[in-house]
Structure 1
Amino acid sequence: MKKSVITLAALAMLAGCSLAPVYERPAQPVAQAWPAGEAYKGVPAAAADAKPVSQILWREYFADDKLRKVIELALANNRDLRVSVLNIEKAKAQYNIDTAALLPKLSANVNQSASRTPSNMTGTGNAAINRQYNGGLVMSSYELDFFGKVRNQSEAGLQSYLGTEEARRTQQITLVSEVANAYLTLIADQQRLKLAQETLKSQQTSYDLSQKRFASGVVAGTDMYDAQTTLESARNDAAVYTAQVALDQNALTLLVGSAVPEELLPAGDLAEVTQLAAIPAGLPSDLLQSRPDVQEAERSLRAANANIGVARAAFFPSISLTASGGSASSTLSGLFKAGSSAWTFAPAINLPIFDGGVNRANLNIAKAQRDISVAQYEKTVQTAFREVTDALATRGTLDERLSSQQALVDAAQKSYTINEARYRKGADSYLNALVSQRALYAAQQGLITTRLAKSSNAVTLYKVLGGGWQPELPQPRG
């Protein structure tokens, strides 16, 4: 028995070979620095000691207290994020199953076997009953991992498990950015609704004035009808944005996963809720490695690399061991007495000779999957690089766009004020006032859109640069 145990231990120590290729991270198929050009001139240079965005936690990044509380609600209640967390638990359990194959499985059992011999088959002429009792430890079919098959299966399971962790990080970063953008969009549509209502009120006054002048014969009917067109247009916009604000609230509720308390709904200005932390620009392209989706793609590549080792190991012999040790006796009372010890040791070797090309096909599949994973990893890096450069290009021009849009609003306001005053004094027709009023309304709408674009761009940069995240989740409320 001692010799068998020593032999088993020696064979287990010899099991250390791996046929998986040595993993090397593919070279990044993107430039080593962010692009430069006219579109990027407005991007401020990062300070030497600037904290990477991937290390800026979202609670530090979003300064508005209401928005932070809404994000906390979403992290606690969003169903997509909850599925991601459960997928981690599932992958962890699967990894535990894969890892368990590295160790022998032991079980303890006690059993009885009984047989009856009929009287016509015994020498005594009496029927005989024979009983045997066995008890001890059993190790069933433990495969010695000489060629790394089991360990590579475990490695593939580990990388899949870690990949679900990265998927969860991606889901959380995406959720935070989606909630922030939905919150900002709701504010912008509230402002559009307010603008439409103010325009409706102003145009109602102008329309009432033109009606009186038309009734008095001071102006032609065209002035009255021109005033009515702007009035009805403003009325239509007010109805459209009333519905849009409700739709925005519904979208925010879906993201949060529960009703958003009234006190947390926005009721202010875009400038009041987007005092976001400064974002370092000019970061090297290797920052993309901090993005969880890039890391998830690399985990898939590592798993595919390990599966090649599993496929290669199928070409070599496999050795499995079955053993048991304990006691045996013809009576239950004598099962564990001295002299009743018993053991069995049954090693088995399986040498593949002909399988019709199955092992070769499995190896080709594993290699093809590895090549697919390489291409997917490179595409993920390229996509990440493109998303960052797009966001930086937008950021570099937003200040100029916002400045010009504000100047356009100021000029349109002055033009409308002058033309409206001239019309009220009877010095001009309503046509000039109508044209300038429409120009002012369009400019004001454009200003709201540009402010939203600037705020949303800051949120997008948080997401595409792999914004920091907290591993803990608040407890669900209610």
Structure 2
Amino acid sequence: MKLKTLSVSALAMLVLSACQLAPEQQAIELPVPNAYASAAQGSGTAAAELHWQQFFNNPKLQQLIELSLANNKDLQIAALNVQRVRALYQIEDSALYPSLDLNASGTRQRLPADLTGTGNAQINQQYSATVGITSYELDFWGKVRNQSEQALQQLYSTEQAQLSSQISLVAELANAWLTYAADQQLLELAAHTLHSQQKTLELTEQSYNLGATSALTLQQVKSTVATAKVDIARYQRLVARDKNALDLLTGTQVSTDLLPDQPLSKLLQLPELPAGLPSDLLQQRPDLKAAEHDLLAANANIGIAKAAFFPSISLTANAGSASAELDNLFKGGSGNWSFIPSINLPIFNMGRTQANLEVAEAQQQVALATYQQKIQQAFREVSDSLADREGYAAQLQAQQDLANSNQQSFLLSEARFKQGADSYLQVLDAQRSWYSAQQQLISGQQALLASQISLYKVLGGGWQQSNTSAE
């Protein structure tokens, strides 16, 4: 009998000729209109084409983002998860090819006289060296290929999830930096107001001691001083918390020279971004790409479940040399081989195979619905960010006008009080209005910048680095 061997090319042909039981992914109708908002159109550089160094043009913020990308633990976990899934894919993909193993063994055994059949004790020994393949499954039904495809799509999904994590991190850090700047500016405003009110209080106390000012006016001035002190304590607490947030996001202690030191109006000049069309968003957002790969993995899983209904054929074959003496192991006549094909055909398992297929089909429907849901959520986020950007821009202009008007009212009230035309109550009311308007103006500036960052994020920007940036 002559040993029949299967070459690698023959095995490859068997695999390529196998059936494909996984359903073909059909085109998915987008659950959004072609032009989801009139404001979606515009001119400018698309978010995905704009590196974050170009969008966040403040050098201090750029350094913080680079620190965060290098040290943030959440991002490191995401990168390690990609490595793990890549290794799992390599494990599944290796099953497509036969593994060649070298095995060498030797045994030496003493049998007592009553077991040898000859009445004399004897020593048996055997040595062998073989090369072969073990339990290589012929992929007639595409099960192994679909297992590899499923692992590959999961790898792609995990890689996109890593990019999505980076987008979120960059946006979160930028917002935390702006929050620190806003709270710091509000703290300075409260400190300036307290300093001004303390001087007013000193003058008012002197005037009260001379009998020129009423006790009511004195108490009113004291109340403004106390209010400013309350605000200072509150903003000092918020600034400290903002600093802690920056330290956590960057994964290191943020030095003072990287903290914002300018008013919000001068801190960031963010470029205008067009929203584009739905097809653009699908190409730009990593989380949507990840959901698409999850859907493809679910399709491959159906092919795996369907293949379980068919027989599986495995091959084990080896060839080598065997001898009772080690010296004769590689001499002529010591060759040996074995060829062991096996087939496994499922007959009855209480419906487990059918249930596994139903589970796979349900998971595919869940993945499809999740993909469509993520698309709808993505376009809602874009529409919300566009509305916020336009709304906050108009609101900020009105807040600026309100702040200017309240400042003029405050100056006029002070002038009329000094001339004796008004009581100090009108001055206090004007000052409170001016102080509140200044606070609202700072908050409005922060909200507008945050809406622009949000739009950059939801359009899929914030994960590409320029060629000149540090890796």
Indicate the SS of the match to 2:266.
Answer: helix
- CA distance in 1 between counterparts of 2:11 and 2:75 reads 46
- Cα drift, residue 220 of structure 1: 2.2
Which of 19, 22, 40 is the aligned partner of 1:20? 22
Matches within 5 A, 1:54-453: 54-119=48-113, 125-281=119-275, 283-289=276-282, 290-453=284-447
- Cα drift, residue 340 of structure 1: 1.8
- CA distance in 1 between counterparts of 2:35 and 2:110 reads 85
- Cα drift, residue 125 of structure 1: 4.5
- CA distance in 2 between counterparts of 1:324 and 1:335 reads 16
- Please tell me whether the aligned partners of residues 55 and 468 of structure 1 are also in contact (alpha carbons under 8 angstroms): no
- CA distance in 2 between counterparts of 1:253 and 1:423 reads 48
CA spacing shift, 1:9–1:113, aligned 2, 3 Å: farther
- CA distance in 1 between counterparts of 2:54 and 2:460 reads 15
Q: Deviations over 1:393-430 (max 9, x none)?
A: 11122222111111111110111111111112222211
- CA distance in 2 between counterparts of 1:441 and 1:120 reads 108
Q: Deviations over 1:240-273 (max 9, x none)?
A: 1122111111111111110011211111121332
Aligned residue pair count: 466
- CA distance in 1 between counterparts of 2:437 and 2:415 reads 20
Indicate the SS of the match to 2:106.
Answer: strand
Letter paired with 1:285: P
Percentage of identical aligned residues: 46
CA spacing shift, 1:244–1:119, aligned 2, 3 Å: closer
Letter paired with 2:215: G
CA spacing shift, 1:410–1:6, aligned 2, 3 Å: closer
Q: Deviations over 1:444-476 (max 9, x none)?
A: 00100111011111111111000042379957x
- CA distance in 2 between counterparts of 1:238 and 1:80 reads 34
Indicate the SS of the match to 1:316.
Answer: coil
- CA distance in 2 between counterparts of 1:456 and 1:123 reads 92
- Please tell me whether the aligned partners of residues 155 and 306 of structure 1 are also in contact (alpha carbons under 8 angstroms): yes
- Cα drift, residue 167 of structure 1: 0.8
- CA distance in 2 between counterparts of 1:393 and 1:378 reads 23
- Cα drift, residue 202 of structure 1: 1.5
Query: What TM-score do the two structures reach when normalised by structure 2?
Result: 0.94
Q: Aligned residue for 2:42?
A: 46
CA spacing shift, 1:436–1:320, aligned 2, 3 Å: same
Question: Which runs of no fewer than 5 residues in structure 1 stay unpaired?
Answer: none
Q: Deviations over 1:20-45 (max 9, x none)?
A: 00013422211211323xxx5xx8x5
CA spacing shift, 1:182–1:106, aligned 2, 3 Å: same
- Please tell me whether the aligned partners of residues 67 and 264 of structure 1 are also in contact (alpha carbons under 8 angstroms): yes
Letter paired with 2:166: Q
- Please tell me whether the aligned partners of residues 64 and 272 of structure 1 are also in contact (alpha carbons under 8 angstroms): no
Which of 440, 451, 455 is the aligned partner of 1:457? 451
CA spacing shift, 1:456–1:7, aligned 2, 3 Å: closer
Indicate the SS of the match to 2:213.
Answer: coil
- Cα drift, residue 88 of structure 1: 0.6
- Please tell me whether the aligned partners of residues 173 and 463 of structure 1 are also in contact (alpha carbons under 8 angstroms): yes
- Please tell me whether the aligned partners of residues 391 and 460 of structure 1 are also in contact (alpha carbons under 8 angstroms): yes
Indicate the SS of the match to 2:4.
Answer: helix
- CA distance in 1 between counterparts of 2:2 and 2:263 reads 81
- Please tell me whether the aligned partners of residues 170 and 462 of structure 2 are also in contact (alpha carbons under 8 angstroms): no
- Cα drift, residue 216 of structure 1: 2.4
Query: What TM-score do the two structures reach when normalised by structure 1?
Result: 0.93
- Cα drift, residue 122 of structure 1: 5.8
Question: Which runs of no fewer than 5 residues in structure 2 stay unpaired?
Answer: none
- Please tell me whether the aligned partners of residues 171 and 462 of structure 2 are also in contact (alpha carbons under 8 angstroms): no
- CA distance in 2 between counterparts of 1:8 and 1:169 reads 38
- CA distance in 1 between counterparts of 2:115 and 2:143 reads 52
- Cα drift, residue 101 of structure 1: 1.0
Deviates more, 1:383-392 or 1:337-346: 337-346
- CA distance in 2 between counterparts of 1:122 and 1:69 reads 82
- CA distance in 2 between counterparts of 1:11 and 1:199 reads 83
- CA distance in 2 between counterparts of 1:457 and 1:274 reads 13
- Cα drift, residue 339 of structure 1: 2.2
